[in-house]
């Protein structure tokens, strides 16, 4: 019995009880947006910080705090260095940017304080650094650290910045904060100070075998005391404190993560200065632990993909504070912003706009997103459709959702990120981490399947290709016809759609994909050769690779990987036959030519740079450029017929069979495959299936690259730059065209079937170790895998 | 002194008179009116009916705890499965008739699993019954240390599955001890990977026999012991040889036990799934792929309609087989009584 | 004026009933015709002949006994080797176990998520450990409380089931035995069918019902279906139907209520069957694996049987000791109730 049994049965139980008892019709109720759902109108104000690519080499503005109706930022960066600047000898300080700027809600500059002047006023030191600028009463306080390198002396001061007047006080030697300084002197590191109710709590972290936190508590009268978290649980190695939540009665809950990745909760008494471990079931909070942040002015906030939530400890629940769907704003973009202020009627975020392409300039535009509560919700009455994105959300997806919601009069798409592997499992490093991850992924798939079946699931599923069990009519709509009529080969790479079909049915349309193969030296590959047959591969390894096999991860890995690319030769039309030349030649080749030596990560990196070939999964035009520009060609993995590279699906979209609005969903799919959104997909990871977008992205990348070459050549001569390994060659259209040709030639999908692989792993090592012959294992393989296929019919 | 005959006559007359008395119309002196008589009849009937109802109520009362529990935990699930086996999926309540059954009955995996289960049970059950009977007869011949043997042979029932599986793996894997001792020479030239060959059912059969022989044998032993010695002796005196003695008499007495043992073996032959699963995993080789494997995998693949249809088919099989056994047993019983 | 006496007539009638035919015509037998000398010679010959016959018969008997013991002995040996094996190996040190059997523990298919790995070397089946240590037992009993906890879990699951099932089944069997109507027989028949169902058939509905009743993932999810299982009813009914009706009639005449008949007559008479059933049920439920895995998926509450079937490399050190410990309660119960077991099962099978 598997661990997944329980979840399956649970879901089936749930899904069966409702119909059995109430004889429901299939499909969801079609929830509509209530008229009292909050709605916010968005105003964008760009900060007038004067940073632009013409006068600045790089620059940024960081939010510090709120002051009255205005907002305090610290601007940093460097003005453009003049041509001919000597990087080794000339002084950069005149070109440094370091200012405190105060802006109003419209982004206009109210006041500015040049910190460079302040720094300059400290004479006699080699290094002066201003940091930790924070609110203190009505002014802002900063720490100044002054070092003398020769003597090693360090002096610390505090300065007070009056942002109303734009003046800075004289430096005051830093108050000896007694407790905190002692702790820091003993090896602790002062992380931050947060307000918890009437108290100020400073978190000091100690490293060691068992890492520990000491909390310095200062009450309203200025009395200080310490709480050692180790007292609550001496065995736990507390790695990070996510947040401290005030729960009243001088008590607070500390939300922490341990070094293994798990979450831990402690209750501290700020008056009695004690700490104890919380043993009750905290799963309602544990799944959000990694999204907990502390925002000045707001306190402890859970920042999830859908919006901001507060922790309601009394109810043991997470309550929405501000959801991005209330404003139909790009959740991915705003999720990166810093919340500044949230109230009933207004919410203000600040951050930098998102650029899907790799940064071309080193300046970023900082904006305010000001959300003002509207009187009525313009979307009231629209039916809600859920878009579930498994595990991750992407910018293009959020864009598509916004775009759809703006134009469609009847339906409103809502982002549903509940299908995620908990972060504690994802980042765990313990003994069973891999297995737990696999189990969690399995459970996720089952949960999704069950929800769809029971009609409570999402209408659209993004990135669900890893869940093979969804690919049938019970769960997803068959989109072959839709693809045939709407997705013609003039606009799309239909070979990718064809490859994604299962038994002629298309359930999940690839939205972006990758190309998996070997990046091999062009010298080792003949013209027009798209892949390696086994003989060619053997020759290649002996020749250009000097005997070192680029796919060096062990025989079984090699075997299964190559077999996955050839799966259409073994299983066709429901009949399994491994008794063919392809399998035999692969087996024989693996047994005789591949060595069992596995390489380390460092070695892997070395061979990637220096070796004649490496395994590549090209997800991006830019990556492809890298491959080709280094003199390599992307060819297929070794196979029986020397076939070309295989397609791996990166993003995909599927429509639930139980949806109440199939047409609206299909419209959404068209949107995802439309030019604009596809361009965003292509700009990041994943090759576009849309031809026009493909061309656009290609051109843009060429532009980016050529700009970089310009910048490099401005600083160095060509020879110098080349010696540093920097790019100095210009790209042109031909790169994009060759990639396009490659994409058009792809026809096989990389299929990774868990059950089949399990059987292969059991049977094949016997042959590879020479204990059985092929004649012995092939009938067994045929039989067992045929059973697997038969069961699925 | 009246003669006996006279007395007899008197008695007869008396009887006659009493009977005559019973007739309401005969003697007006008794003055039983029809109403009262009808009421008497009513009461009698009611009394009998009440008695019948009382009986029924009381006996059903004894049955109630069991009935309630069985209803909730066994019948109800079966009904639910029956219902879903006629639906398209667990939530889609469209009635699709026997479509699911068709899908299952034509599914090759299912056919294979049914064939395997039936073959295995078909061989294992008779074999274990016959062997156990022979062993019992052997032990019954006043063998010294009979009770010791009895106890030892019952041991396999108690060994945990994991240990058994471990030992069987040590023996029958490709590099295991069976190949090491050359057992494969009985079948083929080279080493055999037992669990993945055509002889795989033999290995499992050995496992089954090892586990269940003791139990069956004890049953037979006890039955043999309880045969009336007198009849045996009488038959010996009659000149019956030991073979005739065995077949005619012992078999008759053993018949009910035979059926009981057959049913128990049938149950146990299905339980062997657990060992097979631990030895070979989800998708074993052709010969070991049993009905429960099919259902287990349908469960993991969330193919609930297949699961229910398969379960109902399995149910029907059981009913047929057990019904046949019971029918045969009842016929034998009738024979016995006569 | 009959040729036979009263006695002879009665004898004849008895014999007729016994279907044995005896002749009462007195004829001088073979012996009576001889004279004394002939008789003596005859007897002497007979004696030698019979002695020879007897001796031959005795030798034959001895030989057949020896053969019988050999057969029975070898079968018994086969039966008991695994038990010995487990007990003896439980005195091995964990290093030795890993050396000998490590390879298998990596590859038990039942729970390996990636499929079993191939046994590339032959594991050696050693009966007697090289170095006898009680390391395993120490680890098991003292190092960590989890194993003993699982042992306790097993007991806390099995005992209520056995006790409960006996109680419910006695009542139900009594009802089936005493009240025989056509409809009841059909119900009884269906009870038997239910007994035969493998677990997979009713897996999901059982899960659903448990969830409805709110007992899922508690011990009751396993105990309740176990209490109402129909195996015991089958056996007990057969047994109870054998109780002569005369006893019951007599009791009724004495004015006993049904309940008194049940408690004072039926149950005591079935004592053997009840003991036998207790043992059988105990062993059966002691070994259950699938139900806890699905219905009680809380690791802390898993019984020992599940734990043993999922032993992986990490627990090699206590594998055998755990198995040995696991076998002890059934062994004890079995030894205690052996007599009852044999007698109890026997009566139920025979009419």
**What is the SS3 string spanning chain B?**
CCCHHHHHHHHHHHHHHHHHHHCCCCCCCCCCCHHHHHHHHHHHHHHHHHHHHHHHHHHHHHHHHHHHHHHHHHHHHHHHHHHHHCECCCCCCCECCCHHHHHHHCCHHHHHHHHHHHHHHHHHHHHHHHHHHHHHHHHHCCCCCHHHHHHHHCHHHHCCHHHHHHHHHHHHCCCCHHHHHCHHHHCCCCCCCHHHCCCHHHHHHHHHHHHHHHHHHHHHHHHHHCCCHHHHHHHHHHCCCHHHHHHHHHHHHHHHHHHHHHHHHHHHHHHCHHHHHHHHCCCCCHHHCCHHHHHHHHHHCCCHHHHHHHHHHHHHHHHHHHHHHHHHHHHHHHHHHC
Pick from A455-469, B9-23, B229-243, C133-147: least confident: B9-23
Q: Does A762 sit within 8 Å of C116, measured CB to CB?
A: yes
DSSP reduced 3-state for C251: helix
Question: What residues of chain B lie within 8 A of the CB of C120, using their CB?
Answer: 175
For helices B108-140 and B291-300, angle between their N-to-C axes, nearest 10 degrees? 140
Q: What are the domain boundaries of chain A?
A: 375-511+651-682, 512-650+692-792
Q: Are residues B16 and B129 in the same domain?
A: no
In a domain, C84, yes or no: no
Q: Are residues C294 and C214 in the same domain?
A: yes
pLDDT at C159 over 90: yes
In a domain, B86, yes or no: no
pLDDT at C14 over 60: yes
In a domain, C114, yes or no: yes
* Confidence tier at C31 by pLDDT (50, 70, 90): low
Q: What is the pLDDT of residue B19?
A: 44
* Confidence tier at C269 by pLDDT (50, 70, 90): confident
Please, which residues bridge with residue A206 across strands? A188, A212
Q: What is the pLDDT of residue B129?
A: 92
Q: Are residues C232 and C269 in the same domain?
A: yes
Note if the pTM is more than 0.90. Answer: no
The minimal CB distance from A761 to the residues C115, C290, C294 is found for C115
Q: What is the pLDDT of residue A121?
A: 84
Pick A181 or C70 by higher pLDDT: C70
The minimal CB distance from A469 to the residues B108, B112, B302 is found for B302
Question: What residues of chain A lie within 8 A of the CB of B80, using their CB?
Answer: 16, 20
Q: Are residues C111 and C191 in the same domain?
A: no
Asked if the C-beta of A10 comes within 8 angstroms of chain C's C-beta atoms, the answer is: yes
Q: Does A759 sit within 8 Å of C115, measured CB to CB?
A: yes
Q: Are residues B53 and B122 in the same domain?
A: no
Q: Are residues B61 and B197 in the same domain?
A: no
Shortest distance, CA A762 to any CA of chain C (angstroms): 5
Q: Which CATH class is domain A375-511+651-682?
A: alpha beta
* Per-residue pLDDT tens listing for chain B (338 residues): 444 444 444 433 333 344 444 444 445 555 667 788 888 888 887 777 777 777 777 777 788 888 888 888 888 888 888 887 887 765 566 677 788 888 888 888 889 899 999 999 889 999 999 998 888 887 777 777 777 777 788 778 777 777 787 778 777 877 777 777 777 777 777 777 788 888 888 889 989 998 888 778 877 877 777 666 666 677 666 666 666 666 667 777 777 778 778 888 888 888 888 888 888 877 888 888 988 888 888 877 777 778 888 888 888 888 888 788 777 777 765 544 33
Number of domains in chain B: 2
φ, ψ of residue A283 in degrees (nearest 5): -65, -25
Share of chain C above pLDDT 90, in %: 3
Q: Are residues C209 and C266 in the same domain?
A: yes
**Interface probe with B: pick from A16, A456, A457, A787, most Cβ of B within 10 Å:** A787
Q: What is the pLDDT of residue C161?
A: 93
The minimal CB distance from C290 to the residues A1, A439, A757 is found for A1
Number of domains in chain C: 3
Shortest distance, CA C292 to any CA of chain A (angstroms): 10
In the Cβ-directed half-sphere of C135, how many Cα atoms lie within 13 Å? 14
Looking up residue B258, the CATH number of its domain turns out to be: 1.10.3720.10
pLDDT at A403 over 90: yes
Q: Are residues B126 and B267 in the same domain?
A: yes
């810093």: which residue's tokens? A338
Binding-face residues of B in 277-336 toward A, CB within 8 A: 281-286, 289, 294, 296-304
**Minimum Cα–Cα distance from A760: chain C residue:** C115
Q: Are residues B166 and B221 in the same domain?
A: yes
Question: What is the distance between the alpha carbons of residues A78 and A91, in angstroms, rounded to a whole number?
Answer: 12
Q: Are residues C341 and C212 in the same domain?
A: yes
Full domain range(s) for residue C114: 90-133
Q: What is the pLDDT of residue C156?
A: 92
Full domain range(s) for residue B138: 106-337
Asked if the C-beta of A435 comes within 8 angstroms of chain C's C-beta atoms, the answer is: yes
pLDDT at C123 over 80: no
Pick C30 or A538 by higher pLDDT: A538
Q: What is the pLDDT of residue C104?
A: 62
Beta strand A508-521 with A687-688 is: antiparallel
In a domain, B59, yes or no: yes
Question: What is the distance between the alpha carbons of residues C98 and C124, in angstroms, rounded to a whole number?
Answer: 11
Question: What is the distance between the alpha carbons of residues A637 and A565, in angstroms, rounded to a whole number?
Answer: 8
Nearest Cα residue to A71 out of A338, A444, A384: A338
Q: Are residues C234 and C333 in the same domain?
A: yes
Looking up residue C206, the CATH number of its domain turns out to be: 1.10.3720.10
Pick A153 or B23 by higher pLDDT: A153
Q: Are residues B59 and B136 in the same domain?
A: no
The minimal CB distance from B267 to the residues C174, C195, C203 is found for C195
Asked if the C-beta of A148 comes within 8 angstroms of chain C's C-beta atoms, the answer is: no
Q: Are residues B128 and B260 in the same domain?
A: yes
* Confidence tier at A434 by pLDDT (50, 70, 90): low
Q: Does C211 sit within 8 Å of A10, measured CB to CB?
A: yes
In a domain, C73, yes or no: yes
Which residue, B52, B70, B88, sits at the end of a domain?
Answer: B70
Question: What residues of chain A lie within 8 A of the CB of C212, using their CB?
Answer: 17
**Minimum Cα–Cα distance from A14: chain C residue:** C208
Q: Are residues B133 and B280 in the same domain?
A: yes
Which residue, B24, B44, B70, sits at the end of a domain?
Answer: B70
Per the structure block, which two tokens stand in for A340? Answer: 């500044």
DSSP state letters, A183-252: HHHTTEEEEEEEEETTEEEEEEEE-SSS-EEEEEEE-TTS-EEEEEGGGT-TT--EEEEEEEEEEETTEE
In a domain, C85, yes or no: no
In a domain, C94, yes or no: yes
Query: How many beta-carbon contacts under 8 Å exist across B and C?
Result: 279
Question: What is the distance between the alpha carbons of residues B192 and B169, in angstroms, rounded to a whole number?
Answer: 13
Q: For residue A557, count CB atoms less than 10 angstroms from its CB and return exposed for 0-12, middle for 13-18, buried for 19 or more.
A: middle
Q: Are residues C220 and C113 in the same domain?
A: no
Pick C124 or A521 by higher pLDDT: A521
The minimal CB distance from B301 to the residues A24, A772, A791 is found for A791
């490399």: which residue's tokens? C313
Q: Are residues B298 and B171 in the same domain?
A: yes
pLDDT at C126 over 90: no
Pick from A301-310, A642-651, B229-238, C341-350: least confident: C341-350
Which residue, B22, B52, B70, sits at the end of a domain?
Answer: B70
Question: What is the distance between the alpha carbons of residues A286 and A423, in angstroms, rounded to a whole number?
Answer: 9
The minimal CB distance from A791 to the residues B83, B109, B196 is found for B109
Q: Angle at Cα A440 formed by Cα C198 and Cα A431, nearest 5°?
A: 105
Total residue count of chain C as it appears in this document: 351
Enter the DSSP assignment of A67: E
Q: What is the pLDDT of residue C317?
A: 63
Q: Are residues C129 and C180 in the same domain?
A: no
DSSP reduced 3-state for A56: strand
Q: Are A267 and A278 in contact (CB under 8 A)?
A: yes
Q: What is the pLDDT of residue A666?
A: 93
CATH code: domain A512-650+692-792 is 3.40.190
Q: Are residues C125 and C144 in the same domain?
A: no
Question: What residues of chain C lie within 8 A of the CB of A14, using their CB?
Answer: 211
Q: Does A23 sit within 8 Å of B289, measured CB to CB?
A: no
Query: How many beta-carbon contacts under 8 Å exist across A and B?
Result: 86
Per the structure block, which two tokens stand in for C257? Answer: 């209520």
Q: Does A12 sit within 8 Å of C208, measured CB to CB?
A: yes
pLDDT, tens digit (0-9, with 9 covering 90-100), for A44-66: 988 887 777 778 878 888 888 88
- Interval A692-702 mean pLDDT: 90
Shortest distance, CA C75 to any CA of chain B (angstroms): 8
Q: What is the pLDDT of residue A14?
A: 47
Q: Are residues C57 and C159 in the same domain?
A: no
In a domain, C83, yes or no: no
Q: What is the pLDDT of residue B333?
A: 59
Q: For residue A139, count CB atoms less than 10 angstroms from its CB and return exposed for 0-12, middle for 13-18, buried for 19 or more.
A: middle
Q: Does B282 sit within 8 Å of A16, measured CB to CB?
A: no
The minimal CB distance from B90 to the residues A15, A469, A780 is found for A15
Question: What is the distance between the alpha carbons of residues A593 and A535, in angstroms, rounded to a whole number?
Answer: 10
Q: Are residues C125 and C182 in the same domain?
A: no
In a domain, B236, yes or no: yes
Q: Are residues C154 and C276 in the same domain?
A: yes
Q: What is the pLDDT of residue A126?
A: 83
Q: Does B196 sit within 8 Å of A790, measured CB to CB?
A: no
* Confidence tier at A16 by pLDDT (50, 70, 90): very low
The minimal CB distance from A12 to the residues B90, B108, B283 is found for B90
């060429």: which residue's tokens? A702
Q: What is the pLDDT of residue C246?
A: 80
Question: What residues of chain A lie within 8 A of the CB of B289, using their CB?
Answer: 787
Pick A217 or A429 by higher pLDDT: A217
Domains A375-511+651-682 and A512-650+692-792 share a fold: yes
Q: Does A5 sit within 8 Å of B282, measured CB to CB?
A: no
Which of the other chains make 3 or more beta carbon contacts under 8 angstroms with chain C? A, B
Question: What is the distance between the alpha carbons of residues B292 and B315, in angstroms, rounded to a whole number?
Answer: 12
**Minimum Cα–Cα distance from C83: chain B residue:** B159
């999402």: which residue's tokens? A458
pLDDT, tens digit (0-9, with 9 covering 90-100), for C291-325: 887 788 777 788 888 877 776 555 666 777 788 88
The whole-chain average pLDDT of chain A stands at 82
Shortest distance, CA B102 to any CA of chain C (angstroms): 18
Question: What is the distance between the alpha carbons of residues A538 and A547, in angstroms, rounded to a whole number?
Answer: 9
């Amino acid at each position: 019995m598997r661990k997944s049994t329980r979840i399956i049965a649970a879901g089936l139980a749930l899904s069966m009880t409702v119909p059995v008892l109430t004889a429901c019709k299939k499909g969801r109720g079609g929830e509509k947006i209530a008229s009292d759902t909050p709605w916010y109108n968005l105003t964008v104000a760009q900060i007038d910080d004067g940073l632009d690519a013409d006068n600045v080499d790089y620059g940024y503005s960081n939010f510090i705090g709120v002051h009255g109706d205005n907002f305090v930022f610290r601007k940093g960066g460097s003005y453009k260095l003049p041509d001919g600047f000597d990087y080794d000898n000339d002084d950069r300080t005149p070109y440094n940017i370091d200012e405190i700027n105060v802006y109003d809600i419209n982004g206009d500059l109210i006041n500015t304080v040049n910190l460079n002047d302040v720094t300059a006023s400290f004479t006699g030191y080699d290094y002066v650094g201003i940091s930790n600028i924070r609110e203190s009463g009505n002014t802002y306080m900063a720490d100044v650290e002054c070092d003398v390198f020769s003597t090693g002396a360090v002096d610390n001061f505090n300065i007070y910045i009056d942002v109303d007047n734009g003046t800075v006080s004289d430096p005051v030697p830093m108050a000896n904060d007694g407790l905190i300084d002692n702790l820091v002197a003993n090896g602790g590191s002062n992380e931050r100070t947060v307000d918890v109710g009437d108290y100020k709590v400073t978190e000091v972290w100690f490293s060691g075998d068992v890492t520990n936190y000491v909390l310095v508590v200062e009450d309203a009268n200025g009395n200080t005391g310490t709480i050692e978290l180790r007292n609550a649980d001496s065995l736990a190695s507390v790695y990070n404190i996510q947040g401290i939540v005030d729960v009243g009665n001088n008590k607070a809950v500390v939300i922490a993560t341990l070094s293994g990745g798990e979450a831990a909760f402690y209750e501290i008494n700020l008056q009695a200065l004690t700490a104890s471990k919380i043993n009750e079931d905290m799963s309602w909070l544990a799944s959000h632990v990694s999204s907990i942040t502390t925002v000045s002015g707001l306190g402890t906030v859970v920042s999830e993909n859908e919006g901001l939530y507060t922790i309601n400890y009394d109810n043991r629940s997470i309550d929405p504070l501000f959801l991005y769907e209330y404003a139909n704003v790009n959740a991915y973009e705003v999720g990166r912003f810093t919340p500044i202020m949230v109230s009933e009627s207004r919410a203000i975020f600040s951050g930098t706009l998102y650029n899907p392409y790799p940064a071309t300039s080193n300046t970023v535009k900082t904006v305010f997103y000001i959300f003002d509560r509207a009187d009525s919700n313009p979307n009231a009455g629209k039916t809600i459709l859920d878009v579930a994105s498994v595990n991750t959300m992407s910018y293009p997806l959020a864009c598509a959702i916004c775009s759809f919601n703006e134009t469609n009069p009847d339906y409103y798409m809502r982002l549903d990120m509940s299908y995620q592997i908990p972060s504690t499992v994802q980042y765990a490093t313990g003994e069973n981490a891999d297995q737990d991850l696999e189990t969690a992924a399995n459970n996720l798939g089952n949960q999704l399947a069950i929800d769809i079946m029971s009609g409570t699931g999402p209408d659209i599923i993004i990135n669900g290709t890893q869940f093979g069990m969804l690919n049938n009519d019970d769960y997803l709509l068959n989109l072959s016809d839709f693809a045939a009529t709407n997705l013609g080969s003039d606009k799309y790479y239909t070979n990718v759609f064809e490859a994604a079909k299962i038994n002629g049915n298309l359930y999940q349309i690839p939205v972006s994909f990758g190309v998996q193969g070997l990046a091999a030296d062009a010298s080792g590959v003949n013209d027009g050769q798209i892949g390696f047959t086994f003989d060619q591969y053997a020759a290649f390894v002996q020749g250009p690779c000097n005997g070192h096999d680029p796919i060096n991860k062990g025989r079984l890995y090699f075997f299964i990987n190559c077999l996955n690319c050839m799966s259409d030769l073994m299983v066709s039309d429901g009949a399994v036959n491994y008794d063919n030349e392809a399998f035999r030649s692969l087996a024989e080749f693996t047994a005789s030519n591949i060595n069992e030596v596995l390489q380390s990560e460092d070695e892997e990196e070395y061979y990637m740079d220096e070796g004649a070939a490496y395994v590549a999964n090209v997800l991006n035009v830019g990556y492809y450029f890298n491959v080709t520009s280094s003199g390599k060609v992307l060819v297929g993995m070794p196979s029986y017929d020397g076939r070309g590279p295989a397609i791996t699906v990166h993003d995909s979209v599927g429509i639930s069979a139980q949806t109440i609005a199939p047409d609206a969903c299909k419209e959404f799919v068209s949107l995802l495959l439309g030019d604009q959104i596809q361009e965003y997909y292509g700009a990041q990871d994943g090759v576009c299936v849309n031809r026009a977008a493909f061309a656009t992205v290609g051109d843009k990348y060429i532009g980016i690259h050529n700009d970089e070459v310009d910048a490099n050549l401005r600083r160095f001569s060509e020879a110098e730059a080349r010696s540093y390994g920097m790019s100095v060659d210009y790209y042109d259209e031909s790169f994009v065209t060759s990639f396009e040709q490659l994409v058009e030639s792809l026809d096989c999908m990389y299929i990774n079937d868990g059950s089949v692989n399990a059987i292969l792993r059991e049977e094949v090592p016997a042959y590879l170790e020479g204990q059985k012959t092929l004649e012995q294992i092939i009938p067994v393989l045929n039989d067992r895998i045929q059973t697997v296929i038969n069961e699925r019919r | 002194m009246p003669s006996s005959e006279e007395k007899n006559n008197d008695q007869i007359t008396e009887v006659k008179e009493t009977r005559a008395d019973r007739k309401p119309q005969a003697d007006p002196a008794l003055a039983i009116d029809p109403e009262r008589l009808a009421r008497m009849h009513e009461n009698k009937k009611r009394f009998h009916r009440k008695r019948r109802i009382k009986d029924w109520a009381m006996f059903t009362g004894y049955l109630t705890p069991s009935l309630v529990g069985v209803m909730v935990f066994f019948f109800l699930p079966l009904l639910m499965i029956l219902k879903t086996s006629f639906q398209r999926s667990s939530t889609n309540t469209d009635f699709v008739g026997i479509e699911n059954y068709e899908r299952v009955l034509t599914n090759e995996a299912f056919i294979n699993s049914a064939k395997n289960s039936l073959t295995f049970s078909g061989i294992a059950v008779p074999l274990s019954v016959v062997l156990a009977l022979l062993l019992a007869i052997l032990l019954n011949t006043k063998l010294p240390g009979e009770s010791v043997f009895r106890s030892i042979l019952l041991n396999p029932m108690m060994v945990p599955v994991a240990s058994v599986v471990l030992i069987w793996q040590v023996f029958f894997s490709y590099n295991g001890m069976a190949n090491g001792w050359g057992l494969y020479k009985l079948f083929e030239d080279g080493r055999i990977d037992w669990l993945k060959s055509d002889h795989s059912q033999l290995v499992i059969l050995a496992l089954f026999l090892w586990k269940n022989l003791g139990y069956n044998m004890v049953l037979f032993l006890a039955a043999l012991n309880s045969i009336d010695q007198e009849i045996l002796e009488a038959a010996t005196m009659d000149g019956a040889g030991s073979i005739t003695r065995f077949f005619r008499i012992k078999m008759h007495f053993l018949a009910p036990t035979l059926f009981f043992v057959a049913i128990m073996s049938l149950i146990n032959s299905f339980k062997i799934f657990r060992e097979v699963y631990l030895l070979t995993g989800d998708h074993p080789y052709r010969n070991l792929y049993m009905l429960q494997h099919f259902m287990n995998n349908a469960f993991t693949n969330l193919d609930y309609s297949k699961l229910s249809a398969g379960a109902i088919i399995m149910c029907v099989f059981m009913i047929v087989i057990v019904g046949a056994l019971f029918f045969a047993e009842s016929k034998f019983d009738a024979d016995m009584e006569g | 004026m009959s040729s036979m006496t009263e006695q002879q007539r009665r004898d004849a009638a008895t014999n007729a009933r016994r279907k044995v035919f005896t002749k009462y015509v007195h004829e001088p037998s073979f012996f009576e015709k001889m004279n004394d000398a002939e008789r003596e010679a005859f007897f002497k010959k007979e004696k030698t002949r019979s002695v020879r016959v007897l001796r031959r018969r005795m030798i034959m008997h001895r030989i057949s006994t020896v053969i019988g013991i050999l057969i029975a002995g070898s079968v018994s040996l086969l039966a008991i080797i695994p038990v010995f094996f487990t007990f003896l190996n439980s005195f091995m040190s964990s290093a030795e176990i890993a050396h000998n059997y490590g390879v298998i523990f990596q590859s038990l298919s039942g729970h390996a998520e990636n499929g079993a790995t191939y046994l590339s070397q032959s594991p050696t089946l050693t009966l007697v450990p090289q170095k006898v240590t009680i390391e395993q037992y120490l680890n098991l009993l003292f190092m960590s409380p989890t194993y003993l906890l699982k042992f306790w879990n097993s007991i806390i699951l099995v005992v209520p089931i056995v006790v409960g099932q006996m109680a419910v089944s006695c009542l139900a069997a009594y009802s089936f035995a005493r009240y025989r109507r056509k409809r009841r027989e059909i119900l009884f028949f269906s009870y038997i069918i239910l007994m035969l169902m493998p677990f997979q058939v009713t897996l999901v509905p059982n899960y659903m019902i448990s969830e409805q009743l709110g007992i899922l993932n508690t011990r009751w999810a396993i105990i309740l279906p176990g209490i109402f299982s129909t195996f015991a009813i089958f056996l007990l009914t057969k047994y109870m139907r054998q109780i002569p009706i005369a006893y019951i009639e007599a009791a009724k005449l004495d004015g006993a209520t049904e309940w008194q008949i049940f408690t004072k007559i039926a149950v005591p008479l079935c004592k053997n069957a009840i003991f036998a059933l207790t043992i059988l049920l105990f062993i059966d439920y002691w070994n259950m694996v699938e139900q806890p895995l699905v219905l009680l998926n809380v690791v802390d509450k898993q019984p020992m049987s599940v734990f043993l079937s999922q032993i992986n490399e990490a627990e090699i050190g206590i594998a055998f000791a755990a198995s040995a410990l696991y076998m002890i309660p059934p062994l004890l119960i079995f030894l205690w109730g052996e007599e009852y077991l044999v007698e109890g099962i026997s009566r139920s099978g025979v009419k």
